[in-house]
Amino acid sequence: MARVPNRFRNYSLLFILRQAMQPEEKYLFTYKGCYFRPVFTSVEYLDSLEDFEIRDSDVFLVTYPKSGTIWTQNILSLIYHEGHRDGTEKVYLLDRAPWLEYNVRNVDYVSRPSPRLFASHLPYYLVPKGLRNIRAKVVYVARNPKDVLVSFYHFSKTIAKYEEVEDFGIFMERFLAGKGKDEFFCLTVCSTADC
């Protein structure tokens, strides 16, 4: 069973049950304590990542959602192309820096030439085993959680695949309960340190 973060231990059982029974469950599935969107990935695919082959030359951009991921993906891909926009402007970002946990284009990541750049929102305990033992580079981007909450709230209103929650208070409660990815933040930061 997943460890309950300290800041969630004071929540009443009624609050937790109420949040667990909210209708947004149809937009999410749980995998080893984290929430994922079923339109982008599956349990089978996430299981396969445990043994994903990591190379020493790989670069992983790991971020909390809405923390500047796309911006950093673009910067890193420009670095890969030595600052030449010609090498990046006609190539989709998903092809330059694809998501490890969301292989939406069904690309064979193993056959990608080195150095490979990947983006991920996975917490440490869900990253491939090889990433913990290989000298791959990890770029971690963090942002103030209050900024992330507001950004994620407005972002969720623009995406049809998210349940639209008009009330910011309800959205914040879900966010703090881990259904807005806040638990990911804690698990990402706390899984490498004792929080």
Q: Phi/psi at 8 (nearest 5 deg)? A: -95, -10
Distances (CA, A) of 142 to 35, 122, 158, 170, 184: 19, 14, 23, 24, 12
Distances (CA, A) of 195 to 3, 56, 180, 185: 11, 29, 20, 12
Which pLDDT value is given to residue 53?
92
pLDDT band at 96 (very low <50, low <70, confident <90, very high): confident
- pLDDT above 50 for 17: no
Mean pLDDT, the chain, whole residue set:
76
Token representation of residue 88: 């990046």
Q: State how far the Cα of 57 lies from the Cα of 72, in Å rounded to an integer.
A: 18
Are the beta carbons of 29 and 43 closer than 8 angstroms? yes
Region 126-152: mean pLDDT is 89
| Rg over CA atoms, the chain | 17
Q: Is 84 labeled as catalytic in the residue annotation?
A: no
Q: Which of 81, 84, 121, 154 is catalytic?
A: 121
Per the listing, tokens 């033992």 go with: 133
Instruction: For strands 29-31 and 34-36, give the pairing.
Output: antiparallel
Indicate yes or no: pTM above 0.75. Answer: no
Are the beta carbons of 32 and 126 closer than 8 angstroms? yes
Are the beta carbons of 136 and 58 closer than 8 angstroms? yes
Domains of the chain, earliest start first = 27-43+143-190 (no CATH), 45-141 (3.40.50.300)
- pLDDT above 90 for 184: no
- pLDDT above 50 for 188: no
Which pLDDT value is given to residue 176?
79
